[in-house]
Amino acid sequence: MKPSTRILTAAAVCSVLCVLCSVVAIVAVQTAFSRFGPQSPLELSQDPFYAVSGWAFLLYDLFHIFVIAVFALILARAYSWEAWMGGAASVVSSLADFASLSVNIFFLTAALRALAQGRAIGFPNPGAGYEVICSTLDFAQASFGLVGTLFLATAAIKASGIARVAGWFLVAGLPISFFQIAEVGLHSSWTFVVDEWVTPIDEIVLHIAIGIVLFAIIRHRARSQVQRSTLEPITRPPSLQSAAPKSRSKFGGLKILKPIWVVDH
């Protein structure tokens, strides 16, 4: 299946939006941490900058799913099984991250906000149960992300042109996937650095590379379409053609067919 130019353009725009969402998330979460620190969940649950960072990461996952699906579809035309495996695993990884962020935003943060405001929520420690759910989803995200990155990088490196550069960026991001698996369920200084700095910056670089690949394909298709339109033969307009019926003679020339008169006996 060959993606249309409209789909490629939409994927390129979504890649730019992924970069913007990552930048907004980094700035917002660092602003929140500078005010309260990363070890203050009750205060962070009421901070608007921390909420903005969560929504930015959530929107990033939605755009990222579409971009990765289109990128895998492009690679699947030449290297089918690596691209399909990598694309499917990356989509599952993004869905798991989306689910983890949703639990964190709509359940854990809401419960902590209610606890900080003195409202009854039914249990004294709301973070315990939600942490187990988020840790499970984070492990699924990191595991499928490692598999997806490995297969997508293999397919992209086998390709030619600018897509190979994106493949090497994927290879460079493989160590981060191992760190994400190792830091599941942990809350220390180095895990905050991985979550809030290393991973978003790697995502920014990756989507810049994928966006360059998509824009290069769109530009190549536009050039090919222009060249094809200039090489098409120019046909004579119907108004200049003779209205009389014509046929070819045995010598290759054109002759006018004479009307046949029917004589009644």
pLDDT for res 210: 93
User: Is position 169 within any domain?
Assistant: yes
Torsions phi, psi for 256 (to 5 deg): -85, 130
3-class DSSP assignment, residue 101: helix
Rounded-to-10 torsion of CA 236, 240, 241, 243 = 160
Instruction: Note the pLDDT tens digit of each residue in 44-86.
Output: 888 899 999 999 999 999 999 999 999 999 888 776 788 999 9
User: Is position 238 within any domain?
Assistant: no
Average pLDDT across the chain, whole number: 82
- Is the full-model pTM beyond 0.75? yes
Query: What is the 3-state secondary structure of 115-179?
Result: HHCCCCCCCCCCHHHHHHHHHHHHHHHHHHHHHHHHHHHHHHHHCCCHHHHHHHHHHHCHHHHHH
User: Is position 126 within any domain?
Assistant: yes
CA geometry: angle 169, 171, 172, nearest 5 deg: 65
User: Is position 244 within any domain?
Assistant: no
The range of the structural domain enclosing residue 134 comes to 5-227
The domain total for the chain is 1
pLDDT at 7 over 90: yes
User: Is position 235 within any domain?
Assistant: no
- Residues of the chain with pLDDT > 70, as a percent, come to 82
User: Is position 233 within any domain?
Assistant: no
Contact 265, 253 (CB under 8 A): no
Torsions phi, psi for 247 (to 5 deg): -145, 165
User: Is position 63 within any domain?
Assistant: yes
Instruction: Note the pLDDT tens digit of each residue in 76-124.
Output: 877 678 899 999 999 999 999 999 999 988 888 877 777 777 665 656 6
Largest CA distance in the chain: 115
User: Is position 213 within any domain?
Assistant: yes
Instruction: Note the pLDDT tens digit of each residue in 186-236.
Output: 777 778 888 888 889 999 999 999 999 999 999 988 888 888 777 655 555
pLDDT at 12 over 90: yes
